[in-house]
A and B are shown apart, each in its own frame.
Chain A
Amino acid sequence: MAQGPPIIEVVDLYKSFGSNQVLRGVNLAVEEGSTCVIMGTSGSGKTVLMKHLIGLLKPERGQVLVEDEDIVPMGPEQLALVRRKFGMVFQGSALFDSMTVFENVSFPLREHTKMTEAEMRDAVRHRLQIVGLNGVEDKYPADLSGGMRKRVGLARAIVLDPKIVLYDEPTTGLDPITTDYVDQMILDAKRALGVTSVVISHDVASSFKVGDTIAFLTDGKIVAQLPPKKLRQSQHPAVKLFLSSWFEKYD
């Protein structure tokens, strides 16, 4: 399953908010070109962990290595350079609601490249095709369905050809058909662009479908990071409880 050296490595990460200790020594390695799903119950700190990967939060202790560079002590300018390696798809899409789809997807191009308007049109059309959208460039986010917004969010995340794409709960709140579509979209993006993906999810079916490895987060720690089939045989009580309750219901 290993596809390359770790592109992201989290070492002994601690984070608390007030008296609430959310992360208690997280260790995680994501290999280049792979899809790692961080799975856990709601409120287990998955999103907090993901925000550390891109430097949106600073830990109290520990390291976050991106291509062997620790991003924890970095200032805003250095972090901005590191963030160019990332694309992020937010749970609620986080599209700019005052902008059209074209303006949303072309936003990173406008900010970081010197492309002409025509080149931007081509680049945006190409990325929208990858995520299976056509003819929506002039629509506003409010005119799109939840699934379409997710896809526009992915198109925006991959428009600068990042090395790593982070997905925050990509299938939460979607119907089963759209969930399947979003799963396929993650797999297609990986296939078409060869990116490393980190997916935050508590959706077992999606996680097993898209993940090369699944890291299980509970009590502020990653207690298992295994390929999906091996995770199913894990003897860790929290993993067993989480998976058995799902498989009993749906298997």
Chain B
Amino acid sequence: MANEVEKARPRPNAAYLAVEQLGTRVNDTVEELGGIVSLGWDVARWTVRPPVRVENIFAQLDFVGVGSIFIVMLTGVFSGMVFAHQSSRAFLLFNAESLVGPTVALTLTRELAPVFTALMVTMRAVSAMCTELGTMRVTEQVDALETMAVNPVQYLLVPRIFAGVVMVPLLSMLFNTAGMAGAYVIAVYLRGISAGTFINRTQQWLDPEDIAEGLIKAVVFGFAVTLIGCYKGYNAKGGAKGVGQATTQAMVAAALAIVMLDYIVGVALH
């Protein structure tokens, strides 16, 4: 009987299945975005309510910020070096090597520093946040907090997202410093550009607005990547595999968010 019913039902064609799949994906994405926005609102509400857990906040500032200094500076130095190396080769063609300093400075402050810093923080700290929160979720530690009348969003998420918002801009400034130091070494000692030209031209072309743009981007990225990592971890399901999947999804979503927000904020600021 069941087989007859199966036979009588028309088989969906490939186009129908493709549309159905697309619809499901769109639906899931919209649902996920809604969840992230809703969690962001919850975090904002619980940030301004007492009690303020200073110890938790400093622990996260230390983990996200201090713990990322080395990797961010290392990335910064090499980014500055490679950019100075490539741009000096290009500018040599036009006898315009004096522009290496400002070119590196503008690119670092406006784009590379916030983007690379946010990517480094995502890989080092947000992945750990997501895994830790996911493990706490699947081992009922989050439920335990709730049963002890402690709001998990306020206790677990607020310090982490606050640390992202505060530390990503600071780390981004460190990235700028390290990047310019690396560029200086390459330009002055390897490419023979005079130190005075490098510094004077950089001062001439670099405006405070450029640094501000990079800082605004860094704040937005810091908020976005920690929120995405926390959302994925906080809603993890299904044991070790679920936590692993949540972390992978968080990394992909955070990296995409950085690139997309970079464009959106860049356009919005100009």
Instruction: Please give the residue numbers on chain A whose beta carbons come within 8 Å of chain B beta carbons, in ascending order.
Output: 51, 54, 56, 76, 80-81, 83-84, 86-88, 90-92, 94-97, 107-108, 111-112, 156, 166
Contact = CB atoms under 8 A, between A and B. Distances in A.
A interface SS class: mixed
A101 to B, nearest CB: 15
Interface of B: 135-136, 139-141, 143-144, 146-151
Q: Give the top 5 A-B pairs by smallest Cβ distance, nearest first.
A: A94-B144, A94-B140, A80-B149, A83-B149, A88-B147
Contact of B147 (A86, A95, A97): A86
A94 B149 contact: no
Nearest to A83: B149
Contacts of B146: 54, 56, 83
B148 A111 contact: yes
A111 B141 contact: no
B148 A94 contact: no
B144 A84 contact: no
A96 B147 contact: no
Contacts of B136: 96
B53 to A, nearest CB: 9
A84 B141 CA distance: 17
A87 B146 CA distance: 11
Contacts of B144: 88, 90, 94-96
Contacts of B150: 111
A155 to B, nearest CB: 13
Contact of B149 (A81, A96, A166): A81
Contacts of A54: 146-147
A107 B148 contact: yes
A217 to B, nearest CB: 20
Contacts of B141: 94-97
10 contacts: A56-B146, A56-B147, A76-B151, A81-B149, A90-B144, A94-B139, A96-B136, A96-B144, A108-B149, A111-B150
Contact of B140 (A81, A92, A156): A92
A1 to B, nearest CB: 27
Nearest to A168: B140
Given A54-B146, A94-B140, A96-B136, 13 more contacts: A54-B147, A56-B143, A80-B151, A83-B147, A86-B147, A88-B144, A90-B140, A90-B143, A91-B140, A92-B139, A94-B144, A95-B144, A111-B149
Contacts of A95: 141, 144
A81 to B, nearest CB: 7
A3 B149 CA distance: 28
